[in-house]
Structure 1
Amino acid sequence: MISFGRRKSPAIEETSLATSVMEAWRLPLSPSIRGKLISAGYTCLSSIASVSSSDLARGKFLLYPNLRRLESVARFSLISTDNANITEEEAFEILKLANQSCCNGSRSLINGAKNAWDMLHEEESLPRITTSCSDLDNILGGGISCRDVTEIGGVPGIGKTQIGIQLSVNVQIPRECGGLGGKAIYIDTEGSFMVERALQIAEACVEDMEEYTGYMHKHFQANQVQMKPEDILENIFYFRVCSYTEQIALVNHLEKFISENKDVKVVIVDSITFHFRQDYDDLAQRTRVLSEMALKFMKLAKKFSLAVVLLNQVTTKFSEGSFQLALALGDSWSHSCTNRVILYWNGDERYAYIDKSPSLPSASASYTVTSRGLRNSSSSSKRVKMM
C-alpha cells in the first residue's frame, strides 16, 4: 500500500514561502536586483551561494512546487516578475554578498553562534552592581555581574537580606555616577524584607550620590544628579510569595513582566529555598522543578542583560565522620548558578568567600553591616578557609 503524506495547507505553504523570500531581503542589494533574484526563484542564501555567476546571468530558474504562489508572494512584496534578466556584473555582486553572508560569523545562517573573541569583549564590558563594600566588590570583579545568576548563602543573621536590599537600591544609581540606572525586582519568600530598612539604605545612597556629584560639579562642571529616597523605593517591585506554587507561577510570569518594565536590571529572590524545604516532600521532583527554575533565571539574565541574585539558606551535611554546614538543596543545585558566594563568621567579623565562579578566582573579603548599609570592615584580617 502506498501512503501519501498529508498535504500542507495553503496558509502554511504561503507562510513558509514568505519566510524563505525574506532571506533574500537580507542582502544589501538594490530593489531592482533583489526583485530579479527572487523572481528567478533564488530566495534562500544557501541556494544563491551554490550556483555560478553564469547560471545567474543566463536567468536559470529554480524549480518550485507552486510557482503561482511564488508569484503571489512576489506581487505582495512589490516585486515585478516580468523582467528577471540578471547581468554578469549583477550576478557577480549577488554571489559575492551571498558568500559573505553565509561565511561571516555575525551573519551565520545558524543564529546564535558567537566567537570567543566577541564573547571576551562582551564579558569585559558587562555592567556590574556595586555592593557598597569595595573589598567585596574587588573579589567579585567590580560587583555583581549582569547576565549571570549569582547565589549568595549563609547562616541566619549573616546579612543575606541586607545584601539583597543593598543591591535593589544600588542598581538604581544613575549612569552619571557609575551605576546602571535600572530598577529592581525583589521576590520575598520568607517575609524578611523591611521597607523601613530599604528607606535607610536609600537615604544613605542618596547622600553618597550628592557628595559625589557635588565634587564632580565643583571640579569638572558635571551636572548634579537629583534623586530622592522616595524615587528609589518606587523603583523596587516587591512580590510576597507564600507557597512554592506561587513561586513557580511568578517565575513563569517574570519574562512578561520584565518585557513590560525593561529598566529592570536585577532580580533578587530571598530566599530560593524556603518553601521547597518546608512543603516539598518529593525530593526528585523538587530537584527537577528547581533545575527548570534555574534555567529560566539564566534565560532571563541573558535575554534582558540583568543580574539574578538567589539568596540561599544553610543546612547540615554529614561529611568525613561529622556534620558540617553547607548550602541547602544539595550538590545538584550547586551546578545551577554561575557564581556562588558563601557568607560566614570569623569571630565577630563577617566574611564572603567566592566558592564557585567560571571567571573569578577563589578569594575572601570581610564586610560589615551598618545603619547605612554594607560597608568595608574596620578589621583587615582575612580568612580563606570557608565554613
Structure 2
Amino acid sequence: MSEIDLEDVPGVGPATADRLREAGYCTVESIATASPVDLAEAAEIGEATAKKMIKGAREIADIGGFKTGTDVLLRRKEVRKLRTFVPEFDDLLGGGVETQAITELYGEFGSGKSQIVHQLAVNCQLPEECGGLGGSCIFIDTENTFRPERIAQMVEGLDVDCEVGTTEEFLSHIHVARAHTSDHQMLLIDTARDLANEQKESGMPIRLFIIDSLTGHFRAEYAGRGTLATRQQKLNRHMHELFKLVDEHNAVALVTNQVMSNPGVFFGDPTKPIGGNIVGHSATFRLYLRKSKAGKRIARLVDSPNLPEGEATFMVEKAGIKPC
C-alpha cells in the first residue's frame, strides 16, 4: 500500500495531500482508519468530504471487510519475535516479544521495567537471524529514565553469534524524546509516526516503540475521581494510536506502567496497575514484574490472547538482562 499515493484517494488533491502528510496521514491505511472529525480537522475540509475520502481509502486499502481465518493466518506469518536472550523469559512469551502488539510491563520501582526496555532497545537492532528485528528504536521518556551509559554496558554485555556494532552505532539508532506532559506525550506519537515513515525505506526502519512510563503524566495531571473519565478517554485514544502505529510498521510496542497498592486487599498481592480496564484491554500482553530473593526478578504473564499464564525468572546484571 506504500506504493499508492494519497492523491489516488478520491477527493484528495495535491494541496489536501500535503496537509494530510503534514498532519501525519502518510499512507492510504492511515486515512482509511481515521475518524471523520480528525481527518476533517487535519485536512481543513468538511466532515462530509472526509467521510467520502475515508470510504474511498477503505476500498483501495481493502480495509473494513471480513476476512477468512486463512487470511488472518497469512497475516500472522508476518509477525516477528524480539528475543530477550533469557530462554525462560522468551519461552513465556512464545519465543519473544511480538510485533503488531502492545506489551505492557508493570510492577513496583526496582522490579526491572526500565532495565528490560533498555535491553530490548539494544536487542532490536540485531539481525533477525540473531534474535533481533534488524531495526531502530523510538524511546518516549516520561520519567527521565533513559541512560545512554546503560545502553553501552548492555552492548558490551551482548553474547550473540553475530557481528555486533559499536556502542556509538547502537546509540545512533535509538531516537529519544522527553515528554513533559500527557498532551506532549500524545503529540510525540504523531512525531514518531513521521519519523517511522522517514525511516521506512532506510536500512534501519523503526521496529520498536517504547513509552517509559505510559501512565506517569496522566496519573500526576488527572488526580481525583472528578477527572477520571477525561483521563481514561485520553489514555484510550493514546493506546489506540500506538497500536495503529505498530500494526502499520510491523513493530513492537513496549510500555511500562506504574502500580498502586489496594488497601482493601488483606490476602494476596495488593499491587494493581494504573490505568484500569482501559490499559488492560488495550495491551495485548501484560507482564507483572516483581523482586525476588538474591537479586532475582520474576516476570508473570498475566494476560495474553494465545499463551497460558506462567512465570519466568531473570537477573538484572551490569551486562544487562541475564538468565538466573
Whether TM exceeds 0.5 here: the answer is: yes
1:145 aligns with 2:98: yes
Matches within 5 A, 1:42-57: none
Question: Where in structure 2 are the equivalents of 1:1-387 lying within 5 Å?
Answer: 113-205=66-158, 208-209=159-160, 212-213=161-162, 225=163, 227-262=165-200, 263-281=205-223, 282-320=227-265, 324-348=270-294, 349-377=296-324
Letter in 1 for 2:132: G
Q: Distance in 1 between matches of 2:266 and 2:96?
A: 37
Do 1:202 and 1:233's aligned partners in 2 also have CA atoms closer than 8 Å?
no
Distance 1:266 1:110 in 2: 25
Letter of the 1:329 partner, please give it.
Answer: G
Counterpart-to-counterpart distance in 2, 1:364 and 1:279:
34
CA distance in 1, matches of 2:219, 2:274: 9
Secondary structure at the aligned position of 2:157 is classed as helix
Conserved in 2, the CA contact under 8 Å of 1:198 and 1:233?
yes
Which amino acid in structure 2 is aligned with residue 274 of structure 1?
A: G
Structure with more contact order per residue of length (Cα contacts < 8 Å, sep ≥ 6): 2
What is the aligned-residue identity percentage?
32
CA contact (8 A) 2:138 2:192 kept: no
Q: CA deviation at 1:226?
A: 5.8
User: Distance in 2 between the 1:196 and 1:366 partners?
Assistant: 25
> Which whole-Å CA distance do the structure 2 matches of 1:368 and 1:253 have between them?
34
1:176 shift after superposition:
4.3
TM superposition shift of 1:122: 3.3
How many residues align? The count is: 260
CA offset digits 1:126-176 (Å, max 9, x no partner): 211111211100100111100001101111001110000001000000234
Aligned-partner SS, 2:133: coil
Residues 10-45 of structure 1: per-residue CA shift (max 9 Å, x gap): xxxxx67xxxxxxxxxxxxxxxxxxxxxxxxxxxxx
- 1: CA distance between counterparts of 2:63 and 2:290? 46
Structure with max Cα Rg:
1
2:321 & 2:122 partners in 1: Cα distance?
12
Name stretches of at least 5 consecutive residues in structure 2 with no aligned partner: 1-9, 12-59
Counterpart amino acid of residue 198 in structure 2: E
1:318 shift after superposition: 4.1
Q: 1:344 and 1:332 mapped to 2: Cα distance? A: 22
Deviation at 1:229, TM superposition (A): 1.9
Amino acid at match of 1:285: T
Equivalent position amino acid for 1:276 in 2:
F
RMSD between aligned residues: 2.3
- Please state whether the residue corresponding to 1:157 is helix, strand or coil: coil
Taking the aligned partners of 1:304 and 1:332, their CA distance within structure 2 comes to: 23
Runs of at least 4 residues off by over 3 Å: 107-113, 318-323
SS at match of 2:270: strand
CA contact (8 A) 2:297 2:314 kept: yes
SS in 2 for 1:287: helix
Shift of 1:277: 1.0
Contact 1:353/1:363 (8 A) holds in 2:
yes
> What CA distance in whole angstroms lies between the structure 2 residues aligned with 1:109 and 1:238?
34
SS in 2 for 1:114: coil
Relative to the length of structure 2, the TM-score reads 0.75
